[in-house]
Amino acid sequence: MSLIDFSAEEYEVLSWLSHLMQGSEKGVKIFEVDAKTGEVKLVADPPMKLDRSSLFKILDRLESRGLVKSVFEKKIATCVRCGKGLFQPHLNCPACSSEDIEKVIVHVHNCGASIPETLLSSVKTCPKCGDVLERKDFVNSHGRFVCNSCGEVFEHPEVVSECVSCGFSAKASDMVYLTLRRYTPTESGSLLLEVRSPLRVLLRKLLEEGFKVSENVSLRGVSGATHQISLLAVRVEETRVYEVGYFVDAETLLRFAVKRLDVEKTSIPGALGRIRWIMAGVEFAEAALKTAETFGVEVEVVKVA
């Protein structure tokens, strides 16, 4: 498996999936139908603002590389007109489309005529052969639908689903179906995440350089807000506050810059010497580098294997 061209998008999606997996063994359903609005929506915001189709392209690529596996879960029907997925079913007469139908017991006369039970009290002779109707002449009885509008007797009503959102009605076979699959990172996928984790790589490097390192540290800001940071590294002459990502976009950088402005040196536990705030990542968006420059945030490129 060549991973030279393994992209930031692939890493971010794999990491996103792995995060969503937590506490479930069945795999992640990437989207679902909102039970209130009928909207087909992703279970969580995808990384790097990927849209649904790009997300699925990357998942396919990860699957073809053996880093993710998926199993079929079910099909989801969506409205041809508005794309939503909540329906109200209706049963119609196949002859006149009326919904005024009911299920009745129908007796089959020895001539082949079908006579609904409800008619037996009023009809005395068979409408087909003209014989007087007697119970002994019925060869079969079964449940059928009868239309109160046109009198049609039928076994299968026409099933129509009405979209709860926009009111458009369609036969089940005419709707748009989305395939819902469950995705799980494979063992090699999880291993790859670990091996290429910029946080792990940076952590090892800092320890080798003699830093004392704490992970996931909460820092209290002057504003009263609590800020989470990835790594806090301290050694005699300096303290480094690190935020670590794989692909760093401008927003991530901006959030980090805000933390830096809000947190004073005295709020950093065990801080010694000069304080450096460093945004670390494997790849940086152009706009992120500009933002870093504007706010005077240091950036560090982490080289992952």
Span from 4-12, 47-55, 101-109, 292-300 in contact with Zn ion (CB under 5 A): 101-109
C-alpha to C-alpha distance for 52 and 178, rounded to whole angstroms: 12
Q: Which long-range contacts (CB under 8 A, 24 or more apart) does 224-232 make?
A: 225/262, 227/259, 227/262, 227/263, 229/259, 230/199, 230/280, 231/199, 231/202, 231/203, 231/206, 232/268, 232/269, 232/270
Considering the complex, state which of residue 140 and residue 149 has its C-beta at the smaller distance from Zn ion. Answer: 149
C-alpha to C-alpha distance for 14 and 244, rounded to whole angstroms: 17
Considering the complex, state which of residue 104 and residue 272 has its C-beta at the smaller distance from Zn ion. Answer: 104
Considering the complex, state which of residue 127 and residue 270 has its C-beta at the smaller distance from Zn ion. Answer: 127
Using CB under 5 A, count the residues that bind Zn ion: 21
- With b for 16 or more beta-carbon neighbours within 10 A and e for fewer, the 132-143 pattern comes to ebeeeeeeeeee
Span from 39-47, 88-96, 266-274, 294-302 in contact with Zn ion (CB under 5 A): 88-96
Cα–Cα distances in angstroms (integers) from residue 196 to residues 1, 10, 14, 50, 236, in the given order: 15, 12, 11, 21, 29
Q: Least CB distance from residue 252 to Zn ion, whole Å?
A: 37
- Report strand pairing: 87-92 vs 169-171: unpaired
Q: Least CB distance from residue 73 to Zn ion, whole Å?
A: 23
Residue 156 tokens read as 């299968």
Degrees to nearest 5, angle at CA 47 with 44 and 52: 65
Residue 109 touches Zn ion, criterion: CB under 5 A: yes
Considering the complex, state which of residue 88 and residue 179 has its C-beta at the smaller distance from Zn ion. Answer: 88
Residue 152 touches Zn ion, criterion: CB under 5 A: yes
Q: Which amino acid is at 137?
A: D
Considering the complex, state which of residue 16 and residue 87 has its C-beta at the smaller distance from Zn ion. Answer: 87
Span from 12-20, 62-70, 92-100, 220-228 in contact with Zn ion (CB under 5 A): 92-100
Span from 61-69, 104-112, 208-216, 262-270 in contact with Zn ion (CB under 5 A): 104-112
User: What 8-state DSSP symbol labels residue 132?
Assistant: B
C-alpha to C-alpha distance for 160 and 165, rounded to whole angstroms: 15
Q: Looking only at residues 158 through 217 of this chain, which bind Zn ion when binding is defined by CB under 5 A?
A: 163, 165-166, 168
Q: Least CB distance from residue 138 to Zn ion, whole Å?
A: 10
Considering the complex, state which of residue 131 and residue 187 has its C-beta at the smaller distance from Zn ion. Answer: 131
Of 43, 44, 96, 191, the residue at the interface with Zn ion (CB under 5 A) is 96
Closest CA to 58 of 129, 8, 2, 124: 8
Of 28, 30, 147, 292, the residue at the interface with Zn ion (CB under 5 A) is 147
Residue 279 touches Zn ion, criterion: CB under 5 A: no
Given the rule CB under 5 A, which residues bind Zn ion? 79, 81-82, 93, 95-96, 98, 109, 111, 113, 126, 128-129, 147, 149-150, 152, 163, 165-166, 168
